[in-house]
Amino acid sequence: MARNLFARYLWEINTLYERGNITLRELNQLYRDSHLYDEADEEARLERRTSANDDDGAIPRRTWDNHRREIETIFDVNIECRKSDNTYYIVDDEGYMASKMTHMVCNHFAVKNMLGEAKNLKQRVLYEDIPSGFNHLTTIIQAMRENKVLDISYQSFVRDDVTQFCLHPYCLKVFKLRWYVVGWHEPTSDIRIYSLDRISNIEILKKKFKMPTDFDAQEYFEDSYGAFRNDGVSPTTVRIKANAEEREYLRTLPLHHSQQEVETEQDFSVFELHIRPSFDFKQAILAMGANVEVLEPQSLRKELKAMLTDMLQKYL
């Protein structure tokens, strides 16, 4: 599967969603004007040369039909053809934008595509890109769809050597623009999480696995913050006091889906969350500096105090 195929799927979804309906010829013209056409790999170039008389060849009709099937399978986005005028449109009965993954990824590519097509604005819009692990998404999604085992070579941040193992991919998660795969780690017989940008090689094996009926990705991360569940920490109620300025940020971008504003005064607000206080969560609290204070639990206050004391010692 071509490296940029995932990007093409997302470009096609966004184009149809923005235009409402479009003919294949119009889609071809827009594709030729996009930066994806310029960056196409050799396989795509050959495809265009051999299909020059099929809707101008940028996206041959047979290829387009294959893309529509793959898009429906991967993203649950159904693209239909209106026979009266031969235009294509997204069947949005349930609202594909309700899918958080599809919405986030499509937004990312919508911005990236706009910048690629408006080269005169490239130096005026500073955009944070997703790390290189994004290239592995297509492979992992294909393995998830077919319930096939992945053979992964992984270079951890904390180890010098590359480890190789088999993983049953259960789900994907994104946090702070970094993608993670969650799955059953065969060597240790437990669920583990791996960052895609640390994968040096990945291959889909013929071996299949049975997806556990009791695994629910949403439920698995229900009480977690960030990309890791941290089973060694129990969920607890955390109360945070934020000054008048910081509370506006917390209102518009909550730390966690369980966050509630339980007390509001002129100069501050108190927020309550039910969460596992993981290392990532503590870092997020400390990043807000003196604008916030953890009121409860006392154990978390002590941990944060110790972290701040250790930080202060480095500057004495």
Q: For the chain, which residues score pLDDT lower than 50?
A: 1-3, 40-43, 51-56, 97-98
What pLDDT does 167 receive? 97
What pLDDT does 292 receive? 97
What pLDDT does 42 receive? 43
**CA-to-CA distance for 64 and 118, rounded, in angstroms?**
25
Residue range 17-55, pLDDT digits in tens: 778 889 999 998 888 877 677 654 444 555 555 544 444
What pLDDT does 20 receive? 82
What pLDDT does 105 receive? 62
What pLDDT does 13 receive? 85
Contacts with 240 (C-beta within 8 Å, 6 or more apart), sequence order:
250, 255, 270, 271, 272, 273, 285, 292, 293, 294, 295
